[in-house]
Amino acid sequence: MKFGKKQSAVDMNIVCVSHLRWNFVFQRPQHLLTRAAREGCVLYVEEPTYTGGAPRVDVTVHSTGVRVAVPRLTAGLDGRTEARVLEQLIIDVVRDHVPSPYVLWYYTPMALPFTYGLHPTTVVFDCMDELSAFAGAPEELRDREDELFQKADVVFTGGQSLYEAKRNRHSNVHAFPSSVDVKHFARARSATADPADQVAIPRIRLGFFGVIDERMDYDLIRGIAGARPDWHLVLIGPTAKVDRAMLPRARNIHYLGQKAYEELPRYIAGWDVAILPFARNDATRFISPTKTPEYLAAGKPVVSTSIRDVVRPYGLRGLARIADTVADFAAAVEAALAEDAIDRMRAADAFLTQLSWDGTWTRMRQLIEQSAATRQSAGAVNALSAS
């Protein structure tokens, strides 16, 4: 056994299976499971990679306390053999690293075939995105999701729109829109030194951070850059599922690459307006961008396209301006630049008092505990009925 920390009756141990790499972008899973790891053992199982060697699982302990497990599979195995090998690897790594009882937490339904051999007390499905709408989604994903809804004890959704789409598919679904670490991003309000790769970019700066993928409105970005050559668009984040050669290029568009979560406040501090230039397509229909409250916590005005979970509540409350065309977006930026910053931040801060990842985790944990109790009671009743 390699548990490494003393367990108590109140600990909640978690095995999480995810399609996202732990060290890719610090987002919802990282925020939640980092907090969970303060209270119990958390094993985060990534999708497998392929090597020429024997199958194995590499486990590292992140600075947050989360144990990150990466299965390494032998390249060239047939599908059935690979599934059997991967399932046994996961059974073994859970046995060696996670005390019982534990919660099984899914971010992807595609992990179901590899986790049948696990025996959790409770099954959680944190449905943070409509994965079936993303580029390259497997054909069987919808069927797997149907199966996971049958298996799960409790379902969380990453936003209100996604909740409305999923609430009739399970009896225990709860909306948990994107939250924020206010203290972290509020550092942008007092930061003074520009990072080295941003300092030479002229003002006015429109900034974005996040994954640069099929969800971005590249025509809008290209159009704004052309319509306002005196504005500079600063785009921070890794690219995924897009051809970098096809990204908009102009003298006033700056791709600064991926930055660590700890670095983001310093970059945002040097922006004049924070933007959400998302396309309106199937991949963005249900997204709830975490960066919306993060921009507000940083003290920046926000201009976004009409993503539903940005329109409500942020647009309706006057915390973000909504625009979809180049002309309307430019006009919204102009209005944001002219507004009273003190009044804007006062309104944003009042709203943000309702949001925190600490609060979100606490409410999720309570629901998980309630679901575990319900499952245990149902098991007891079934046992009595069978006796």
Question: pLDDT tens for residues 69-103?
Answer: 999 999 888 888 988 999 999 999 999 999 999 99
Backbone angles phi, psi at 363, to 5 degrees: -65, -40
Strands 56-61 and 154-157: unpaired
Sheet holding 321-322, edge to edge: 253-257, 232-236, 205-209, 273-276, 302-304, 321-322
Q: What is the pLDDT of residues 210-258, one digit of tens each?
A: 999 999 999 999 999 999 999 999 999 999 888 888 899 999 999 999 9
Q: Do domains 13-179+357-386 and 182-352 have the same CATH topology?
A: yes
- What's domain 182-352's superfamily in CATH? Glycogen Phosphorylase B; (3.40.50.2000)
pTM: 0.89
| C-beta atoms surrounding 103 within 10 Å | 25
Q: What is the pLDDT of residues 369-382, one digit of tens each?
A: 999 888 776 665 45
Q: What is the pLDDT of residues 158-167, one digit of tens each?
A: 999 999 999 9
The amino acid sitting at 25 is V
Domain locations along the chain: 13-179+357-386, 182-352
- β-pair partners for 127: 157
Query: Token digits for 99?
Result: 């005390």
Report d(CA 345, CA 334) in Å as an integer.
18
Query: In whole angstroms, what separates CA 275 from the centre of its chain?
Result: 18
- What was the pLDDT predicted at 10? 45
Report d(CA 169, CA 43) in Å as an integer.
28
Q: Which residues of 40-65 are buried (b: 16+ CB within 10 A; e: fewer)?
A: bbbbbbbbbeeeeeebebebeebebb
Question: Of 3.40.190.10, 3.40.50.880, 1.20.120.160, 3.40.50.2000, which CATH number belongs to 13-179+357-386?
Answer: 3.40.50.2000
- What was the pLDDT predicted at 7? 42
Confidence label for 130 from pLDDT (cuts 50, 70 and 90): confident
User: Residue 383 in 3-state DSSP?
Assistant: helix
Confidence label for 133 from pLDDT (cuts 50, 70 and 90): confident
Nearest to 352 by CA among 383, 313, 378: 313
Strands 232-236 and 205-209: parallel
Backbone angles phi, psi at 24, to 5 degrees: -80, -80
